[in-house]
């Protein structure tokens, strides 16, 4: 399937999928024809939105041979900062308030206590081992200062630690080191284990509920799974660490993943914000998308009648 890309660099644009940054693609169809889905114009109302159809199809409708991407200018100033919270609920409330107030935060990332512990050990950091928010603001020098001060007030109101921020690139990179190395830090918790990444996305107002219920499920099952969230989008990821040779372990992880997806769907969210359905989550697609699955099957049948592109994915 199509991998997700990180869309950062424009004001108020957090992490996104390929759908957010692709203007057009060229693709080879099942009959060998190469098509182009859109012009290079910044916007178009001509016909079906085939660009998003092909990008969102996880490689099941054709082979994408090239993409035309939106480019984002480098902002005049970038400020970054961190704040620790006693609970995930407090951290999520700070996120909700930030988004509802319309503060143009460029990135706002959530790390749970286990992920912070892993990052401290792996990257030589000394953050309190409690839920952590990392933020980034883009714009003019005055704008990023004002936005940082606005968030500092929100963090204080939600019980967070003092919001430490800087516009110095070297210092900002040091603060963000925890996020940049999060995957490898998580793997280092149990290097001998396999690592399985999964994600869901919910309305921001349900982020705290979904993460809390997921962590309760993790604890009940005795699973090791640090959490990282693109909190401003209501999207969070888990790195599930497991022993593939332990009897019943893979089945337990698969069942946990299905429960996670169903939990997000029940909260008005989606089984996957970025990773895609692939094979692992196709059993929950019907619950999320309902009758539109039949429409997708019809499109698949029409464009790929011999099922040669990523057979067995999504449906």
Q: Who contacts 188 (Cβ-Cβ below 8 Å, separation ≥6)?
A: 118, 121, 122
- The tens place of each residue's pLDDT in the chain, 315 residues long, gives 333 333 333 333 344 567 678 999 999 999 999 999 998 888 889 999 999 999 999 999 999 999 999 888 889 999 999 999 999 999 999 999 999 999 999 999 999 999 999 999 999 999 999 999 999 999 999 999 999 999 999 999 999 999 999 999 998 888 888 899 999 999 999 999 999 999 999 999 999 999 999 999 999 999 999 999 999 999 999 999 999 999 999 999 999 999 999 999 999 999 999 999 998 899 999 999 999 999 999 999 999 999 999 999 998
Instruction: Name the architecture of domain 186-289.
Output: 2-Layer Sandwich (3.30)
Query: Domain boundaries in the chain?
Result: 77-182, 186-289
In angstroms, the CA 132 to CA 198 distance is 20
Residues 208, 267 contacting (CB under 8 angstroms): no
In this structure, how many other beta carbons lie within 10 angstroms of the beta carbon of residue 192? 6
Please give the class, per CATH, of domain 77-182: alpha beta
Helix (H, G, I), strand (E, B) or coil at 237: strand
Residue 72: what pLDDT? 82
Virtual CA dihedral for 114, 228, 182, 84, nearest 10 degrees? Answer: -60
Instruction: Compute the chain's Rg from CA coordinates.
Output: 21
Query: What does the DSSP assignment read for 113-182?
Result: HHHHHHHHHHHT----SS-EEEEEEEE-HHHHHHHHHHHHHHHHHTTPPP-EEE--HHHHHHHTHHHHTH
Residues 211, 115 contacting (CB under 8 angstroms): no
> Do 77-182 and 186-289 agree at the fold level?
yes
Q: Who contacts 78 (Cβ-Cβ below 8 Å, separation ≥6)?
A: 106, 136, 137, 138, 144, 167, 169, 172
């Amino acid at each position: 399937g199509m991998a997700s890309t990180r869309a950062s660099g424009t004001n108020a644009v957090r992490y996104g999928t390929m759908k957010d940054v692709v203007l057009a693609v060229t693709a080879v169809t099942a009959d060998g024809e190469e098509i182009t889905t859109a012009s290079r114009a910044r916007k178009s109302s001509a016909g079906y939105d085939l660009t998003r159809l092909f990008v969102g199809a996880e490689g099941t409708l054709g082979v994408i041979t090239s993409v035309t991407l939106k480019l984002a200018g480098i902002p005049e100033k970038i400020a970054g900062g961190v704040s620790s919270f006693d609970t995930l609920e407090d951290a999520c409330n700070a996120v909700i308030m930030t988004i509802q107030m319309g503060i143009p935060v460029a990135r706002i990332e959530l790390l749970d206590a286990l992920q912070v512990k892993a990052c401290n050990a792996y990257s030589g950091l000394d953050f309190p081992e409690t839920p952590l928010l990392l933020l980034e603001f883009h714009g003019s020098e005055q704008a990023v200062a004002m936005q940082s001060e606005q968030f500092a007030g929100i963090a204080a109101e939600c019980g967070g630690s003092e919001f430490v921020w800087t516009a110095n690139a070297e210092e900002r990179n040091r603060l963000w080191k925890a996020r940049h190395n999060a995957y490898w830090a998580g793997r280092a918790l149990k290097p001998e284990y396999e690592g399985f990444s999964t994600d869901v996305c919910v309305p921001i107002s349900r982020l705290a509920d979904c993460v809390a219920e997921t962590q309760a499920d993790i604890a009940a099952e005795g699973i090791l799974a640090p959490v990282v969230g693109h909190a401003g989008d209501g999207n969070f990821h888990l790195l599930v660490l497991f022993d593939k040779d332990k009897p019943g372990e893979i089945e337990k992880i698969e069942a946990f993943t299905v429960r996670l997806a169903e939990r997000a769907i029940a909260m008005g969210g989606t089984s996957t914000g970025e990773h895609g359905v692939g094979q692992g989550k196709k059993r929950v697609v019907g619950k999320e998308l309902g009758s539109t699955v039949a429409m997708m099957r019809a499109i698949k049948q029409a464009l790929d009648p011999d099922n040669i592109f990523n057979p067995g994915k999504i449906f």
